[in-house]
Amino acid sequence: MGRISGTSIALLVILSFIWGSSFILMKLGLHAYSWDQVAAMRISIAGIIFIPYVIIKFSSIKKFHYIILFALLEVGIPPFLYTFAQTYVDSGTAGILNSLVPLFTLLSGVLIFSVKTTFTKVLGVLIGLVGAVLLVIFEQGSDENVNITNYHGLLIVFATLLYGIGGNILKEKLYDVSSMLITATSFTTLGIPAVIYLLTTDLLSMPLSDIETLKSFTAIATLSIFGSALAIVLLNVLIKKSTALFASFCTYLIPFVAIFWGMLDGENINTMHFFSLVLILFGITIANKRVK
């Protein structure tokens, strides 16, 4: 890896804080809205924001089929998986499981895009997966919901797999498309069906004059604007300014931010959280270790 600029490091820290805070914002949104409403609102609000930009730049859009595929994998399906999972999985655990993104980026790169790999990368993948499995299996909860908790934790793991594939599509197929244009087109296109879906729910019957509803809406709007729209733009810029490998380092810091917010919100953080976190980060470090 070449010399990394101060701008790239700053972008990495900002992304880590934004995405690390996303899990607690999802949890706050779930106080008043259902999991599917939170996910659809997250997409639709960002889509509405980007409409003017897409209209202006419409003639510049290219590789639309790859953008749509990227959109589904990166901003379309994962929000539903994450919010559904967080009806049972706390934000700290969700943040830790999110560390699997670089590992699945490596796996999908090898299996789908024929990216060359090494023994150390494979070893890192296996160690990281062991950490994720242990976290899901030993997630604290009552006897009545332990199986449900495990199942929902695996949904987050699946979401990280989609993120990994989406990252490879961005790197391999959309490297010559504007970061802003990719983000705007993704959210605007998916925002249309998201808005239509929201109209079939009881969303309009939930007045913002209710203080709890207003708090949840504010959390979702913040999540949409910063955790989705802004974050995807910054990610694309970071990858183009440095490398995809360096950009993936933000997932090393995300779990710590998520656990910090979880502790402030009164979530129970136990030894298994930290043990699993150490295993996952150790696996990711080995997977990204450069061999001379």
Q: Predicted confidence band at 186 (pLDDT cuts at 50, 70, 90)?
A: very high
**For residue 288, is pLDDT > 70?**
no
**For residue 255, is pLDDT > 60?**
yes
The stretch 39-55 carries a mean pLDDT of 95
Residue 156 within a domain: yes
Cα 95 to Cα 4, 23, 206, distances in angstroms = 26, 7, 30
**For residue 289, is pLDDT > 80?**
no
Residue 145: per-residue pLDDT: 44
| Distance between CA atoms of residues 147 and 149, nearest Å | 5
- The letter for the amino acid at 169 is I
Tens digits of per-residue pLDDT, 122-180? 888 788 878 877 776 665 444 444 444 557 888 999 999 999 899 889 888 998 899 89
The greatest distance separating any two alpha carbons of the chain, rounded to the nearest whole angstrom, comes to: 61
Residue 292 within a domain: no
pTM score: 0.81
Q: Which two tokens stand for residue 207?
A: 């007045």
Residue 1 within a domain: no
**For residue 269, is pLDDT > 60?**
yes
Residue 139: per-residue pLDDT: 57
Residue 218 within a domain: yes
∠ Cα 54 55 60 (to 5°): 65
| Distance between CA atoms of residues 290 and 288, nearest Å | 6
Q: Which two tokens stand for residue 252?
A: 């090393």
Give the total number of structural domains in the chain. 1
Q: Predicted confidence band at 4 (pLDDT cuts at 50, 70, 90)?
A: low
| Distance between CA atoms of residues 183 and 186, nearest Å | 5
The stretch 221-235 carries a mean pLDDT of 91
Q: Helix, strand, coil shares of the chain as percentages rounded to 5?
A: 80, 0, 20
Q: Which domain holds residue 74?
A: 6-287
Residue 8: per-residue pLDDT: 82
Residue 257: per-residue pLDDT: 81
The stretch 180-196 carries a mean pLDDT of 95
Q: Predicted confidence band at 84 (pLDDT cuts at 50, 70, 90)?
A: very high
Whether the Cβ atoms of residue 96 and residue 272 lie closer than 8 Å to each other: no
Q: Where are the beta strands (DSSP E) in 74-167?
A: none
| Distance between CA atoms of residues 100 and 262, nearest Å | 19
The stretch 238-244 carries a mean pLDDT of 74
**For residue 2, is pLDDT > 50?**
no
**For residue 98, is pLDDT > 60?**
yes
Q: Predicted confidence band at 282 (pLDDT cuts at 50, 70, 90)?
A: confident
Closest-CA residue to 277 (of 109, 145, 170, 134): 134
Residue 270: per-residue pLDDT: 75
Sort residue 61 into left (φ over 0), alpha (ψ -120 to 50) or beta.
beta
Residue 222: per-residue pLDDT: 96
